[in-house]
Structure 1
């Protein structure tokens, strides 16, 4: 795989080297020009100050600016002027020796004075000359940078275009992938720095593919499950509509039961679709889980009595919870309904609501039914899976819906076979994570 970092470093190294060399060449040319001008001026000044009567005519290429000239003054021990260049420029004599700055003739001067007791010499220069040299030097130093900046912009833009070409190619490849594609993005030509992103995209594609596969299977299973009750309804309607036979009361009962089963299946399918669409709780309010569970038990007392099943509550602690009461009613209603339906006549279903300092709240529903083959326990939450004995109605969606509701409320739903006797024990308790702790008041 090609490394964007390495490619960018190579391009930027070449760019910086090229810009640096260009700036160095420009700076050298400007500095040489400035040095030649300065040294030419020095030669001129030396020539002009070689003697009191020498004033040579400037040759070609020599810039004559009187303000740039040095003022050279020489006195003897009595103070008589022995030499003054240029004539007529009288800078006040400085006492002592060394460098100093003074104001004279409407300008500031930098003066160097020296003497040996016989003669005194004083050399002065306008400060404006030095300022002009400083400004010129600064401009010449900045010129290479100012010249190379726009060049650098162009080269950087071109270099980054070359560096990012692989990313554009990758984007084009991803955009051209068909929706039904099952192949991951090839990492062979992906830049090293983009590899983690592409790996994450491949994983996302795999999850989406798994989700789509699950949805297709769900739709196929739903169509299959709906076909049976709808076919039965159609046959019952045909029988009722047959003028050759009379309508018996049981025909109406069968038709009503078939319609009820179909409506219940459609309702469960719609509920699962809603849970799949969003993980948010629609109506989250503070409530008492004890009230929800006791209501579910009360709703199934008549069913339990009709099946000669002893349905009761062994303990009922108050459990504050934040959640959707309607969803929780569906959850515990399904669990109690399953326990009653799968328990044979003469059996018992015990419901316990407890809360402890360590484990938090727990709702357990224990029955004395036949239990479930241990090899099938791992599949009880699969959609449309039924491990129920023959003769017990069901769609295979109740536990899948219950698990979805529990997870939305930060709860965990577990089903195990009882160890003390035949039957199942269903437990609902908080998951050991922050979401459960936030929703359940311990």
Structure 2
């Protein structure tokens, strides 16, 4: 299993090693050069002061840094001083610095001359190199020592930073399925915060989905109990009635089965609509054609009831969405209008689009609804009075859920021009409509 901490530590260690070694050699070389320049400066100072009574320390009191060989000549070229006696260095012809070999040993020499005398000062090159290396090591070794120290500090810092992931995992693991507690996002690194926020969003969605599932199962069990119990009673009555009395029980049985079937169908629609929760719609839907198809599907049902169903306005509208869900939305609105519109009534469906919005509108001449009941019409299994019309109370709940996922606002109100309801599903569009193009595929 790949370890982020191990990988980062390996790369950081390699980087520290490379940078540390390069820094060591660079500082080492610079220190050697600086030491050489410093010792050259010493040679020059000794040469300038030797002719003015410069005195050497006794041999036993000298440090290696002071091991100089000095020779002084007068203007005629006669030697005035040579120290130490054991070292006889040839006189250089040119003033300044030079490196010479005497008796198999290299010397660094500086010659200074004026009108009265010439002074030549020399130092063993081996001694100079030893002093330069010592100075370079004093500069470079701390850099090498910093590498393992940096490795320890980096490892500790990584443990502190990446340990927050472990803490985050522990906080998530401690939460139960029904937990509403959010992961705290304050005080955590900025790189981890988006992850924590995304987990909180996902947990909220999961919580809502679980709550919907619980309500669905509870409500479905409650609503199925009554029609199925009635169906059971009707079957018993059918068995007990015998031959001539079967027609009425059979009719009631058929009605009960129809109610149960309708309820189950609505539940299946609700379950299918929940499948698209959290998914991004990618289908281009011709809303005008979809509404036309829905109306065409319900015309036989409306005609059988004596209701005039038709489309009065049909603007061309293209949008991004789930075609099956949008059809379910329109189907529920039209079906609901047919159920509550008496014979001889009418239902007008419109698809409209203007410069900044699109809307689907269903107008019926039904019985209307009490103003106090309108806010509850989208609650699952709620049925407003009168309740003598068959239904499950799920249609508008499904329609509202689909509308919300597609960025639509659904509004129900009693008509003011006549008796009945006006149901409008609308939303703003992202930009001015362009014929033949979808509405930007942007949903809230």
TM-score normalized with structure 1 length: 0.70
Residues 245 and 204 of structure 1, relative CA distance in 2, 3 Å threshold: same
Contact 2:314–2:351, Cα closer than 8 Å, also in 1? yes
Matches of 2:285 and 2:162, distance apart in 1? 56
* Cα distance in 2, alignment partners of residues 432 and 390 from structure 1: 38
Aligned to 1:391: 388
What is the CA–CA distance in structure 1 between the aligned matches of 2:157 and 2:317, rounded to whole Å?
65
- Measure how far apart 1:121 and its partner are: 0.6
Picking from 359, 368, 373, the partner of 2:370 is: 373
Q: CA 1:352–1:213 in 2, change beyond 3 Å: closer, same or farther?
A: closer
Shift of 1:427: 1.8
Partner of 2:215, secondary structure, is: helix
**Change over 3 Å in CA distance of 1:64–1:313 after alignment to 2:** closer
DSSP-derived class of the 1:314 partner: strand
- Measure, in 2, the Cα distance between the counterparts of 1:119 and 1:395: 124
1:90 is aligned to 89
Tell me whether 1:364 sits opposite 2:361 in the alignment.
yes
The alignment status of 1:140 with 2:138, answered yes or no, reads yes
Q: 1:176 to 1:311 in 2, by over 3 A?
A: closer
Q: Which residue of 2 aligns with 1:320?
A: 318
Structure 2 unaligned residues grouped into runs of 5+: 1-34, 432-437
CA contact (8 A) 1:410 1:439 kept: no
**Relative to structure 1, is the Cα distance of residues 295 and 110 closer, same or farther in structure 2, using a 3 angstrom cutoff?**
same
Once the two structures are overlaid, the 10-residue window that deviates more, 286-295 or 273-282, is 273-282
The CA deviation at 1:272 is 1.9
2:328 to 314, 327, 330: 330
Question: Compared with structure 1, are the counterparts of its residues 415 and 131 closer, same or farther at alpha carbon in structure 2 (3 Å cutoff)?
Answer: farther
Which residue of structure 2 lines up, in the alignment, with residue 271 of structure 1? Answer: 269
More displaced stretch, 242-251 vs 299-308: 242-251
Q: Distance in 2 between matches of 1:136 and 1:77?
A: 40
Match of 1:439, SS state, is coil
- Provide closer, same or farther for how the CA distance between residues 88 and 126 of structure 1 changes in structure 2, counting only shifts above 3 A: closer
The residue aligned with 2:439 is: 437
Cα offsets for 1:5-57 (capped at 9, x unmatched): xxxxxxxxxxxxxxxxxxxxxxxxxxxxxx9xx99xx9xxx9xx999xx9977
Q: CA deviation at 1:306?
A: 3.0
Task: Flag the 1:315–1:250 CA change in 2: closer, same or farther, 3 A.
Answer: same
State the shift of 1:351 in Å.
1.3
Q: Tell me, what secondary structure is at the counterpart of 2:439?
A: helix
How far off is 1:426 after superposition? 1.5
> For this pair of structures, how many residues does the alignment match?
386
Q: CA deviation at 1:165?
A: 8.2
Contact 2:91 2:120 survives alignment (8 Å): no
Say which of 350, 364, 389 aligns to 1:352: 350
Q: Cα distance, 1:170 vs. partner?
A: 7.2
Q: 1:305 Cα shift? A: 2.7
293-302 or 424-433, larger mean C-alpha shift: 424-433
* Counterpart Cα distance in 1 of 2:348 and 2:318: 21
Task: Give matches, 1:50-199, under 5 Å.
Answer: 69-86=67-84, 87-96=86-95, 99-102=96-99, 110-126=108-124, 129-147=127-145, 149-151=147-149, 153-154=151-152, 172=170, 175-180=173-178, 184=181, 192-193=187-188
Write out per-residue CA displacement over residues 335-358 of structure 1, whole angstroms, 9 at most, x where no aligned residue.
111112212233221112222233
> 1:57 and 1:101, CA in 2 relative to 1: closer, same or farther beyond 3 A?
closer
The separation in 1 between residues aligned to 2:97 and 2:257, in whole angstroms, is 114
* Matches of 1:296 and 1:162, distance apart in 2: 61
Question: Bigger CA drift: 413-422 or 194-203?
Answer: 194-203
The 1:333/1:278 distance shift into structure 2, 3 A limit, reads closer
CA–CA distance in structure 2, aligned partners of residues 160 and 325 of structure 1 = 50
- 1:392 positional shift: 0.8
Deviation for aligned residue 1:155: 6.3
Of residues 416, 427, 433 in structure 1, which corresponds to 2:413?
A: 416
> 1:166 touches 1:191 (CA, 8 Å); kept in 2?
no
Q: Name 1:218's counterpart in structure 2.
A: 216
> Gaps (5+ residues) in structure 1?
1-34
User: What is the RMSD computed on CA atoms of the aligned residues?
Assistant: 4.5
Moved more, 162-171 or 392-401: 162-171
TM-score normalised by length of structure 2: 0.70
SS at match of 2:76: coil
Relative to structure 1, is the Cα distance of residues 229 and 282 closer, same or farther in structure 2, using a 3 angstrom cutoff?
farther
- Work out whether residues 308 and 347 of structure 1, in 8 Å CA contact, stay in contact via their aligned partners in 2: yes
1-structure distance, mates of 2:198, 2:269: 31
The separation in 1 between residues aligned to 2:177 and 2:318, in whole angstroms, is 47
1:398 Cα deviation (Å)? Answer: 0.9
Cα offset, 1:129, TM superposition? 4.3
Distance 1:155 1:309, change over 3 A: closer
